Amino acid sequence: MFESICISGDYDLGLLAEKALFYDKVKLIVNEDRLNRLFSKVHPASFISFLEEHRENIQLVYFWVLPAVRTFFPKNENPNITFTSIDEDYVDPYLDYLWEKGGLNSPEGSFIDLSLARRLYKLMSKDVVPSETTKKYAEEMENEEKVLAYLENYLLKTDPLSLRKLPRDTKLRLNVVEDDPYTGKKYEMEHNIGEDVLDPFQFLSSYFNTFSTMEVWANYSSDFQTSTMSSILIEHRLNSLYNQTIKQIEQQEVFNNTILKNRSIREVINSGEKNFLDYIDLYERSKKFKQWVTDIPPESNLVQEYINTINAKTWAEKLPSKTIRFGMFTGTGLLVDTLGASGVGTLLGTSLSAVDSFLLDKLITGWKPNHFIENEFESFLHS
């Protein structure tokens, strides 16, 4: 218990002192503003000496490449927003400049002791939030439905009365106005959320910053202490991922038990009934089935979708059976006649009439998932 913690967001000296007492390892995410606040409560020399003595237990981490939310104001246009970070190859560490110039404050005025500044700098480890990460979460926010789900959950946890003030057709949309391969996308925000409910720009900024940095924090294998908004956003994401994972496991088990009659690929391979070479052949035949599964909406029921799909009638199935056969065979004959084999159409139609009706029905109705399940899959499981 209380092995390690990563502290970010709005913290103070008292919070740091409390966490350092309970946790064996503490990573403190710092920046200029947070250090200024700490040094307004304790002299830099005392704080730095304390860190030097306990550096194995308390570590400062400085992100010198952070997620950046920038707003542009084109003439006669709505503001444009970018969500990005500056690649480390193009940025010099900010602290090098900041501390060499003595820019930090202390209870006794400006922090101009450069030797203390260098000691503090040596205590810090640097980290970055790569541009690939920020790009991923910027594009994730283009999914309006997902962002609104996070927003509603946040209001539910913090201000339920404001949740009731949201319009029925709530908008919080990022429209792409420019997509540059080097500088990234520029967005125009469209929303109908009242000022008395929430600042949508601040919410999107928190969403972007939280998840971009969370991906890096995950490497620390520790607890997290962060802002209230970030904590609620992270909680909602983890709960959603957990529920989605459990739901998909349960749906696959139900599918195995009902459609596959209590048999599964895992079972026949692990028991030795089938080897992996047998499975490779099955896998290579499964493209249509896999695509069908992929196209099912996340909130749907797999077994119900399977049943609905195999029972659904195509336009061809809705026609009288004889009409379809006549149309297909006559059409085939006409095609052959057109190609120069006059008279063959009638003969071909006669020959085709002997084809098994089951195969003919499959030809007419097209592919359905039960074609794969009842043939290749069943053969793999039971032969």
Using CA of residue 11, residue 15, residue 16, residue 20, what is the dihedral sign? Answer: negative
The answer to whether 128 and 215 have CB atoms below 8 angstroms apart is no
User: Would you say residue 30 has pLDDT above 50?
Assistant: yes
Predicted local confidence at residue 232, as pLDDT: 94
Report the pLDDT averaged over residues 28-36. Answer: 82
Angstrom CA distances, 47 to 42, 55, 58, 116, 232, stand at 7, 12, 11, 10, 32
**Reported confidence tier of residue 199, pLDDT bands at 50, 70, 90:** very high
Tell me what the mean pLDDT of segment 219-227 comes to. 82
User: Strand 58-65 and strand 124-128: pairing?
Assistant: parallel
Residue 330: band (very low, low, confident or very high) from pLDDT cuts 50, 70, 90: very low
pLDDT at 9 over 80: no
Mean pLDDT of 120-127: 85
Average pLDDT of the segment spanning 230-238: 92
State the pLDDT at residue 318: 55
Residue type, 248: Q
pLDDT value at residue 226:
86
88 DSSP assignment: G
> Which one-letter DSSP state was computed for residue 367?
-
Question: In the prediction, which pLDDT does 331 show?
Answer: 45
The per-residue pLDDT for 94 is 47
So what's the pLDDT on residue 58? 94
- The whole-number average pLDDT for the span 32-56 is 88
pLDDT of 317 strictly over 70: no
Q: What is the reported pLDDT for 113?
A: 65
State the Cα angle at 133 between 170 and 248, rounded to 5°.
65
Query: What percentage of the chain carries pLDDT values higher than 70?
Result: 79
Summarize pLDDT for 60-95 with one digit per residue, the tens.
Answer: 988 877 788 888 888 777 889 999 886 544 444 445
**Joined tokens for residue 303:** 């077994």
Average pLDDT over residues 150-179: 94
Cβ(336)–Cβ(345) under 8 Å?
yes
Note the residue count of the chain. Answer: 383
* pTM of the complete model: 0.68
pLDDT tens profile 341-356: 444 444 444 444 444 4
| Token pair 């550096």: residue | 55
The pLDDT score that the predictor gives to residue 351 is: 45
pLDDT tens-digit readout, 259-284: 988 888 988 999 999 899 989 999 99
Q: Which of these ranges, 79-88, 98-107, 231-240, 367-376, has the smallest mean pLDDT?
A: 98-107
Does residue 9 or residue 335 have the better pLDDT?
Answer: 9
Residue 366: pLDDT band by 50, 70, 90 thresholds?
confident
Q: Which of 336, 330, 329, 334 is nearest to 355 (CA)?
A: 329
Q: What residue type is assigned to position 297 of the chain?
A: P
Nearest of 72, 9, 371, 23 to residue 221 by alpha carbon = 23
Q: Are 326 and 350 in contact (CB under 8 A)?
A: no
Can you list the alpha helix ranges (DSSP code H) found in the chain? 13-22, 32-39, 44-53, 94-100, 114-123, 131-140, 144-158, 160-164, 200-217, 228-258, 265-270, 276-284, 287-294, 302-311, 321-338, 344-352, 357-365, 369-372, 378-382
